[in-house]
Structure 1
Amino acid sequence: MTTGTTTAPTTQRTAPERHPNRKRSSRLPLLLIIPTLVLLTAALGYPIGWQVLTSFREYGLMQQFGAPAPFVGLDNYVALVTDPYLWTVVGRSVLFCVVTAAVTVAIGGAMAVLMNALQPWARITLQVALLVAWAMPVVAAMTVWIWIVDWRRGLLNWALVRLGMDGAQGHNWLAEPWSFFVVACVIVVWMSVPFVALSIYAGLTQVSTEVLEAAALDGANGIQRLRFIIVPLIAPVLSIVMLLQLIWDLRVFTQIKLLQDAGGVANETNLLGTYVYQLGTGKGDFGTASAVSILILALTIALSWYYVRSLMKEES
């Protein structure tokens, strides 16, 4: 009697094939981005490092002639945070940048919606006008604006007098802080609206017309389509545009400085940019000016952190 033994079939596991091309391609984006990271580190690392080191030193007029800059630690920062004028400038700068950024995005968004609804010839005409205004150099544009608000020969006072406002004759719009910042806000918004309008219009062109037509068939009016369909779809564009405007308007310098030179009172109209200039170039206190620059960097990060987090969530 023979007994047969049955052997269970054995399954042979084959090791997964390695694809060297796939591994090499996964490294390719990293290799391509390394030169850019090196250039950014070299271009931004040195100025920021110099600012940080200078903010811990007493760097005044003597140091400009070769005297060593003594290390003072946090003395520059302590002097800043205990100075009430600094917090006045900080509050003024934050309020200015928030208001101008919000007005710019609102007007730019309205112009983008208008461009999307216009006929092609009218849309192209408006886009060319926006590009011309945006491409105008800042100093050239400020020359025109200063002429408009000039208290002696300004176009604004001339037009108001012709409209019957006799009090406008010889009125200096830059002498009072409130009217100074109204003029500055108008100028900054005028210079920023073209970029915002064109950016939002580019986002509007990506909204599907079929979705809008379906919403219209369901009874949604224009405002409802804008609020519940268009705005959510272009939210990433609105977020990045608002973020950029907050950063740019917090660091505004040229417009404020030229308006101060045209008749504004510097101590009553300083923003953070002009305050750094006044401390550094005006008084020669580059240590304190560097400390204010680091404060501006911290404020920029704080104001933009919410939008950066929103963008990161949308990306993930």
Structure 2
Amino acid sequence: MVTADPPGRRAVSPGPSPAVSTRRAGTGGRPLLRRAAPYLLIAPTVLALTAVLGYPLVELVLLSFQDMSRRELFAGTEPPWTGLKQYRAIAQDRFFWQVVGRTALFATVCTALTMAAALAVALLMRRVSPWVRATMAAVLVAVWAMPVMVAASVFRWLADADYGVANWLLGLLPGLDFTKHNWFEDPWQGFAVIVAVVFWGSLPFAAITLQAALTQVPPELAEAARVDGAGRGQVFRHITFPVVKPAFVMVTTLNAIWNFGVFNQIWLMRSGQPEKEYYLLGVYSFIESFAVNRYSAGAAIAVVTVVLLLAGAVFYVRQLVRMGETR
């Protein structure tokens, strides 16, 4: 028998339990915290970079608009402001544009050689046995860990005019005489040695990165293409390289940025006294600032170099974003 509620009495539905209410109240701030989490995690890095790089960069830009001499440097007085004088001077300097072109050519050659060899090494590492691959990776890591000073010393010994191994090996070839041959007398030959030093140091990172990217290539696609009659070149062009392309573009951009700012290799290979024929932008800025004591002119050259490197960095970030969107 069903009995109805007495008149005037309303049925009250049971409310949520305290645990459910607490759970709902606790999730109110989670979306906001989740959105802010990436910024909170990256904040220490941004603050450290701002403190370490931001302040010197601002001072560098300000110095490029002044005329700093040794008098202001030793006296601690404020140098006079000259506006765009330093930039107009370097823009009208034909030697400056020669250095810019030389730097661009140097970075292009180093990057092209590095990426071509790195891709070949990475493909080779995919075809050898596991223990050979592990040995190659260990050797590449050891080369990568070698300090630039050590690598420059080794290559200086290899290209030495009196006791260099390069002259001895080339002298064994019939019709060639490289006795006491000075590789740095001709800037083209000297830059060939410097390119070898840069290539030696940058190859391991590129090769290991591309080898890791090659592991993402689906083997069944390559096998299906071979069954359909595709050759090795076609498989690489239409299956392998499209998968590796994002990593290839990023590593190429990074290498171009690093090679554009090369300084240590040239400074060490020329014993701290590089000739004008060996000036790149980094070396030119350093010489103008600390050898000729034209601090503001050197600062202006450094600012131009930073702007050119920022253009490469923007391209690199865009590639990162595109790769993230395609995944």
Query: Could you give the per-residue CA deviations for residues 137-156 of structure 1, whole angstroms, max 9, x where no partner exists?
Result: 11111111101101111111
Shift, 1:165, TM fit: 4.6
Of 116-125 and 162-171, deviating more is: 162-171
Q: Identify the residue that residue 145 of structure 2 maps to in structure 1.
A: 135
CA distance 1:213–1:42, shift in 2 (3 Å): same
- Structure 1 unaligned spans of 5+: 1-16
1:74 maps to a residue whose letter is L
Secondary structure of 2:97 counterpart: helix
1:273 maps to a residue whose letter is G
* Aligned 8 A contact 1:90 1:271 in 2: yes
Query: Could you give the per-residue CA deviations for residues 177-198 of structure 1, whole angstroms, max 9, x where no partner exists?
Result: 1111111111111111011000
**Aligned counterparts of 2:245 and 2:315: Cα–Cα separation in 1:** 14
**Aligned counterparts of 1:58 and 1:299: Cα–Cα separation in 2:** 23
1:128 maps to a residue whose letter is A
Where do residues 52-91 of structure 1 align in structure 2 (5 Å cutoff)?
52-68=61-77, 69-91=79-101
2:35 pairs, out of 26, 30, 33, with: 26
CA distance 1:305–1:23, shift in 2 (3 Å): closer
Q: Give the TM-score of the pair, scaled to structure 2.
A: 0.86
Q: Does 2:305 correspond to 1:296?
A: yes
**Aligned counterparts of 2:224 and 2:211: Cα–Cα separation in 1:** 21
2:197 maps to a residue whose letter is I
* Aligned 8 A contact 1:173 1:180 in 2: yes
Q: Does 2:179 correspond to 1:179?
A: no
**Aligned counterparts of 1:297 and 1:25: Cα–Cα separation in 2:** 35
2:100 maps to a residue whose letter is V
* Aligned 8 A contact 1:89 1:270 in 2: yes
Where do residues 279-294 of structure 1 align in structure 2 (5 Å cutoff)?
279-294=288-303
2:278 pairs, out of 233, 254, 269, with: 269
Query: Could you give the per-residue CA deviations for residues 87-110 of structure 1, whole angstroms, max 9, x where no partner exists?
Result: 000000001001111110110011
Q: Identify the residue that residue 92 of structure 1 maps to in structure 2.
A: 102
* Aligned 8 A contact 1:239 1:311 in 2: no
Shift, 1:35, TM fit: 2.2
Secondary structure of 1:132 counterpart: helix
1:270 maps to a residue whose letter is Y
- The percent of aligned pairs where both chains have the same amino acid is 36
Q: Does 2:158 correspond to 1:148?
A: yes
**Aligned counterparts of 1:161 and 1:188: Cα–Cα separation in 2:** 25
Q: Give the TM-score of the pair, scaled to structure 1.
A: 0.89
2:45 pairs, out of 36, 45, 59, with: 36
What is the RMSD computed on CA atoms of the aligned residues?
Answer: 1.9
Of structures 1 and 2, the one with the larger relative CO (CA 8 A, separation 6+) is: 1
Q: Identify the residue that residue 257 of structure 1 maps to in structure 2.
A: 267
Secondary structure of 2:139 counterpart: helix
Query: Could you give the per-residue CA deviations for residues 237-256 of structure 1, whole angstroms, max 9, x where no partner exists?
Result: 11110111011000001111
Secondary structure of 1:100 counterpart: helix
* Aligned 8 A contact 2:267 2:274 in 1: no
- Structure 2 unaligned spans of 5+: 1-23
Q: Identify the residue that residue 238 of structure 2 maps to in structure 1.
A: 228
**Aligned counterparts of 1:162 and 1:97: Cα–Cα separation in 2:** 32
* Aligned 8 A contact 1:175 1:265 in 2: no
Higher CA-based Rg: 2
* Aligned 8 A contact 1:104 1:193 in 2: yes
Shift, 1:294, TM fit: 0.7
